[in-house]
Amino acid sequence: MSEDKEQQLPENSIEEKTTIATTENKVEKTVNPTEESTTLQTEPATESNEDTASADVMNEIDDSNAEDAEDTHTEKRHEIPMPDYHEMSMENLVGELQRLVKNEKVQAIRKHVDTIKDEFNQKFDQFLEEKKEEFISTGGNEIDFRYNSIDKQQFNEVYSEYRDKRNQHYKSLEKSHKENLAYRLDLIEQLKALVNVEEDINTTYNNFKDIQAKWRHAGPIPRADYNNVWKTYHHHIEIFYDFLNINRDLRDLDFKHNLEEKGKIVARAEELSKEPDLNRAFRELQVLHKIWKEDLGPVGKDHREEIWDRFRAATKIIHERRQDYFKNLDKIKEENLERKNVIIAEIHMLSENISSNHGTLQQQIKKLEELRDSFFKAGQVPQKVNSKTWNSFKSAVRSFNQNKNAFYKNLKKEQQENLDKKRALLEIAVSLKDSDDFDTTTSEMKRIQGQWKKIGHVPRKYSDKLWKEFKTACNHYFDRLNALKNDAFKEEEANFKLKDECIDRLKSFELSGDKTKDLETINKFSEEWKTYGRVPFKKKNINQKFDKIIDALYQKCGVSKQESELLKYGNKIQQLSDNDNQERAIQNERAFIRKKIDESKDEIRQLENNLQFFSNASESNPLVQDVIKRVNQHKESLAAWKAKLKKLNILKNNLTKEEDEAEETADSKTEE
């Protein structure tokens, strides 16, 4: 059933109900019993069993249009998006209600407001239960529990404003509805009288058109009277056209116009039967039925049944598609119900297995929060079980909270132990806050911060004070550490400036043509570069920039890339010679070079294997050329690494020789 069908008008006053009853009697009296069989037939009555579905949708459309006719602003409810209020917080629900009441017509937001009210009350009940359990867990008596919620106060104020506006609106409509109904009934009487007036037919026809124009602008009437009044009106329209038979030209002209306009309506309805947005299609279909009913008269009997059957068939298609959609929606709600029941069962399981360990219980509390979130995000359930499902959920959560609170009532001893542990950590933090042994102290300060987080609750009266003192001690230490790092950063910036100046001088250096002299100068630049320390991490690419310039200078001197690598490696050999632990440094360097040699060999082997797949390809093939190029590059790299290993072996042998000579000298002195 559509939302229009589900909506109910606000409660009428006793006077309003009396008025509606009276007007219903008046409408019934406008059609005498002998006319009843034709009065309700503005279109052919050829309904069979297979037309039951279309009859249902016709009634639904008639009811919805009757509601819209009572107050034209209710049509706007179709234009107001329906958000997922189920997932909104209480604060957001209040904000949404305020927006609707402030910006929308009060008669167009009924369903929105009712949904918001239900969702807010559910969430507030749950929130209140949690606050009550929290109050009891801290030693309070349930009978003394009171809680003032700002969200609840704001909601009540806005909802009261909405209710006042709604009541005021419908009260103001009552008088105009009475007047409009009386006016329309009078127009029907004038229409009935036309067939008994002895005057020129053209004058009568003009009077008929005048009555039609007045009818279209007569204003809204109570929806309880809407359909009956319209059927009575159309009944007498048809009687007038039968009377007009004596002037077929005028009648046929109207019939032709009405047929053309109804043909357009049918064509649009047939287009809507393919519209993907079913809500939009159904809303426009209602409008088409309203135009058909209110703005257009009958067509010739030869076309009456055919045009109506087409319109009804298109209507039926839209209705069936819409029914399928709601069936699927019901299925989704049933699936949501199953998910929520599983969640409720899990909460019951948690409640029955409350841990006696604080840490584990904290995990269970976290799990409960996850289950609560999952419950609220699971979507809507069938309306008939909504309250039952909500109450089961509340009961399960309440049971968990009661068992949890029973545990924490016996937790004072553990809280005292936690207090002692945190005081001990505070003493450590205070004792280390001025330490200059940053390497050791930093690790220890991080450790005690981690320990602090793992310790559970302490008595509330000590919690804030203890935390502030601990935080102050930690912040004092880390502020000092950060200041030291800032000094190191300044030093790195100074190194960067020196390296930048060195690059500027290197760029301006011009080769003399004396290779030996030029290489000596280039090597001096390299030695100078190594004297500068680290630079900021984000600016470390300056080292690559320097290497590129050095490589370019070596190339200009006629030194191959491999030779330049070996020249630069000579500086590395010198560093190894000067290392305090030469043997370990050389061993590490040897292992590194052997690894690079193996990697180069593997790459060459793999690429040469790949070349076999191009056995029939020309060497001019770009893919083949690329593989060959990469093989040659790796071979050059392999040769360079082997040369470096040779230099390293020479260094190792020289050091071993020096050691042997030193031992022989020592032995000879001992013999003497």
pLDDT tens digits for range 438-459: 778 888 889 989 989 888 878 8
* DSSP states of 351-372: HHT--SSHHHHHHHHHHHHHHH
Contact present, 116 and 97 (Cβ < 8 Å): yes
Can you tell me which residue has the tokens 């009428």?
12
Q: Which of 76 and 649 is assigned the larger pLDDT?
A: 649
Rounded average pLDDT over 128-132? 77
- Looking at mean pLDDT, say which of 203-207, 427-431, 603-607 comes out highest: 427-431
DSSP 8-class letter at 144: G
The pLDDT tens digits of the residues spanning 535-549 come to 887 888 888 888 888
User: What pLDDT is recorded for position 253?
Assistant: 78
Name 521's Cβ contacts closer than 8 Å, sequence gap at least 6. Answer: 509
Q: What single DSSP character describes residue 273?
A: T
| Mean pLDDT, residues 15-36 taken together | 34
What was the pLDDT predicted at 355? 81
Comparing 31 with 272, which gets the higher pLDDT?
Answer: 272
**Sign, CA torsion 536/538/539/543:** positive
Per-residue H/E/C for 393-438 = HHHHHHHHHHHHHHHHCCCHHHHHHHHHHHHHHHHHHHHHCCCCCH
Segment 345-357, tens digit of pLDDT: 988 888 888 887 7
CA distances to 24, 128, 399, 656 from 131, rounded to whole Å, are 53, 5, 14, 81
At residue 27, the pLDDT reads 38
Query: Using 50, 70 and 90 to split pLDDT, how confident is the model at 569?
Result: low
What's the predicted TM-score (pTM) here?
Answer: 0.36
As a whole number of angstroms, the distance between CA 115 and CA 99 comes to 15
Q: For residue 63, what pLDDT is reported?
A: 56
What does the pLDDT average to over 370-383?
82
Predicted pLDDT of residue 324: 79
Query: pLDDT tens digit string along 31-85?
Result: 333 333 333 334 444 444 445 555 566 666 655 555 555 555 555 556 677 777 7
Question: Which pair of structure tokens corresponds to residue 527?
Answer: 């030695």
Task: Give the closest residue to 236 by CA, choosing from 311, 185, 202.
Answer: 185
DSSP category for residue 32: -
- Roughly what angle, to the nearest 10 degrees, separates helices 386-408 and 358-377? 170
Mean pLDDT of 563-589: 66
Q: Is 218 helix (H, G, I), strand (E, B) or coil?
A: coil
**Residue 224: CB atoms within 10 Å:** 20
Which pLDDT score, from 0 to 100, does residue 18 have? 31
In one letter, which amino acid is 39?
A: T
Indicate the range of 8-12, 93-97, 240-244 predicted with least confidence.
Answer: 8-12
Give the C-alpha separation, 1 to 317, whole Å: 16
The DSSP output letter for 378 is S
pLDDT in tens, 392-403: 888 888 888 878
Closest CA to 558 of 522, 600, 599, 591: 522
Tokens of 175: 């008088």
Task: Give the pair of three-digit tokens for residue 74.
Answer: 């209710």
Pair 5, 63: CB distance under 8 Å: yes
What average pLDDT is seen over the chain?
75
Residue 261 pLDDT > 60, yes or no?
Answer: yes
| Between 525 and 135, the higher pLDDT residue | 525
